[in-house]
């Protein structure tokens, strides 16, 4: 199988690995390859930005053909499906039946297995916690051939290690999930303009009790009194039935080719951010919209990651806890704006305090910032500075978005890593884990 189809979304790093497409969930695991230290790693749909889904020199287990639904209880909203089912396909089935994903990331092109293995979060973290909070059972296939059904009660330690376990505890063949009731496909959204970071924090406090979904776009270029200005989106599912036509899952437009250099630079950033902030004239705009437009605006542009050119991009997502975290967020945004780097889409959200069953889960109470950067040498230095800030306040960086953090940083962010390592399947590994999971001398 050609190596080139197994890339992560950021396009960095680009590595050689073998791909082994899986066909039946009842089949045994394939061998890892001839090399002595070759290992296996499940691959969902490559929507992770960095190397958490990559396995240099080893084999990735391509789960995309494991896309069958196994059971759907329409009364109770409990669904069991194979791990390669895309969130988009799941929504197609359950929304007309009056159910919705309890938690969704900002792309519907992630698989159920990938969502579980990174314990993804969404705009409703303050309300519903992470994806893993709603998993009722899963089956894990280990390299010794054993199949274990894991639930919060049965094989509970492996259950906790597998949720957010980055594919390292074995192959998840199927997942069972408790869905959330909805009336239809629509949401009612308010978009509120805010002029600085303190206003963002006030809006979050005022909104989180009344709105299931809250998230903000932030202008990462503005400085001084306007530092952290942006647009705050807050929404609830709408109670009206949607009678419109079913929407397509295909992007409406696509970036047709990869330009020779990144289109994201100091000038395009400044122009886009100023335009986007000014586009909403009124302080508050209210509208009713389809779930695809609210949750997945980026999915409507196919291959948007190509705008970063052949070298790809680096995402950075951190969470900064407590009052110190809020103060540090000012410093972080100011550092990013001063660097002249940043992205068209920078996202801010305050995470709630719902804990996840996942031992290595990333979200924790605090403010989270996510944005991407073109892959350039000065960006690596900038991200090292952001890491130092994150560590100073006891925060963490999200492995699903990472391709460069040091082992030292990772182990400070995830103190449970040693306990987690005991649950790793000896036949499984990843480029990410080999980078961050060794003893720091």
Ligand X SMILES: Cc1cc2nc3c(=O)[nH]c(=O)nc-3n(C[C@H](O)[C@H](O)[C@H](O)COP(=O)(O)OP(=O)(O)OC[C@H]3O[C@@H](n4cnc5c(N)ncnc54)[C@H](O)[C@@H]3O)c2cc1C
Q: What are phi and psi of 293, to 5 degrees?
A: -70, -35
Applying CB under 6 A, among 172, 369, 393, 396 the residue interacting with ligand X is 172
CB burial readout 23-53, b (16+ within 10 A) else e: eebeeebeebbeeeebbbbbbbbbbbbbbbb
Q: Is 367 in the site for ligand X (CB under 6 A)?
A: no
Kindly tell me which of 75 and 422 has the beta carbon lying closer to ligand X.
422
Q: What is the DSSP letter of 3?
A: G
- Nearest to residue 269, comparing CAs of 336, 322, 224? 336
Q: Is 167 in the site for ligand X (CB under 6 A)?
A: yes
Report the half-sphere exposure of 84 (CA within 13 A, side-chain side): 17
Q: What are phi and psi of 377, to 5 degrees?
A: -60, -40
Q: Is 107 in the site for ligand X (CB under 6 A)?
A: yes
Kindly tell me which of 167 and 395 has the beta carbon lying closer to ligand X.
167
Applying CB under 6 A, among 53, 101, 216, 218 the residue interacting with ligand X is 53
Min separation Cβ 381 and ligand X, Å: 25
Binding mask 278-317 for ligand X (x = CB under 6 A): --------------------x-------------------
Kindly tell me which of 227 and 432 has the beta carbon lying closer to ligand X.
432
Report the half-sphere exposure of 264 (CA within 13 A, side-chain side): 27
191 strand-pairing partners: 233, 285
Q: Is 368 in the site for ligand X (CB under 6 A)?
A: no
What residues have CB less than 8 Å from 402, skipping those under 6 apart? 49, 50, 51, 52, 315, 316, 432
Q: Is 274 in the site for ligand X (CB under 6 A)?
A: no
Q: Is 117 in the site for ligand X (CB under 6 A)?
A: yes
- Nearest to residue 179, comparing CAs of 255, 284, 93? 93
Instruction: Record the tokens describing residue 318, joined without a space.
Output: 């951190």
Applying CB under 6 A, among 83, 191, 341, 390 the residue interacting with ligand X is 83
Binding mask 118-157 for ligand X (x = CB under 6 A): x-xxx-----------------------------------
Kindly tell me which of 53 and 346 has the beta carbon lying closer to ligand X.
53
**Residues making contact with ligand X (CB under 6 A):** 9, 41-48, 52-53, 63, 83, 105-107, 110-111, 113-115, 117-118, 120-122, 166-167, 171-172, 298, 400
């Amino acid at each position: 199988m050609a190596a080139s189809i197994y890339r992560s979304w950021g396009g960095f790093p680009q590595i050689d690995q073998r791909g082994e497409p899986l066909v039946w969930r009842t089949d045994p695991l394939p061998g890892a390859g001839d090399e002595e230290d070759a290992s296996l790693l499940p691959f969902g749909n490559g929507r992770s930005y960095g190397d958490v889904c990559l396995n240099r020199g080893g084999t990735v287990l391509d789960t995309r053909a494991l896309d069958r639904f196994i059971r759907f209880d329409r009364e109770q909203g409990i669904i069991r499906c194979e791990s390669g089912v895309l969130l988009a396909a799941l929504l197609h089935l359950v929304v007309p039946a009056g159910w919705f994903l309890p938690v969704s990331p900002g792309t519907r092109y992630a698989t159920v297995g990938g969502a579980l293995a990174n314990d993804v979060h969404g705009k409703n973290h303050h309300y519903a916690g992470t994806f893993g909070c709603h998993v009722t059972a899963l089956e894990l296939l280990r390299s010794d051939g054993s199949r274990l059904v894991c639930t919060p009660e049965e094989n509970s330690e492996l259950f906790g290690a597998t949720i957010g376990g980055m594919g390292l505890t074995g192959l998840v063949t199927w997942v069972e999930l408790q869905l959330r009731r909805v009336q239809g496909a629509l949401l009612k959204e308010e978009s509120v303009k805010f002029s600085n970071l303190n206003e963002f924090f006030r809006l979050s406090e005022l909104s989180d009790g009344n709105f299931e979904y809250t998230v903000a776009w932030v202008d990462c270029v503005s400085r001084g009194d306007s530092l952290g200005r942006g647009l705050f989106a807050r929404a609830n599912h709408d109670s009206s039935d949607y009678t419109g036509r079913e929407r397509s899952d295909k992007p409406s437009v696509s970036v047709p080719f990869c330009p020779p250099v990144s289109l994201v630079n100091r000038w395009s950033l400044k122009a886009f951010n100023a335009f986007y902030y000014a586009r909403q004239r009124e302080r508050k705009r209210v509208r009713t919209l389809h779930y695809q437009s609210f949750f997945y605006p980026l999915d409507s542009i196919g291959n948007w990651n190509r705008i970063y050119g052949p070298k790809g991009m680096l995402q950075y997502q951190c969470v900064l806890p407590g009052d110190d975290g809020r103060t540090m967020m000012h410093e972080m945004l100011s550092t990013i704006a001063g660097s002249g780097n940043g992205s068209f889409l920078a996202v801010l959200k305050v995470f709630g305090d719902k804990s996840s069953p996942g031992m290595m889960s990333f979200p924790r109470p605090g403010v989270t910032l996510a944005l991407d950067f073109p892959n350039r040498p000065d960006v690596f230095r900038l991200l090292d500075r952001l890491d130092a800030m994150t560590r100073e306040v006891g925060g963490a960086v999200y492995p699903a978005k990472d391709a460069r953090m040091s082992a030292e940083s990772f182990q400070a962010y995830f103190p449970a890593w040693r306990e987690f390592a005991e649950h790793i399947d000896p036949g499984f590994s990843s480029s990410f884990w080999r980078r961050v999971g060794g003893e720091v001398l």
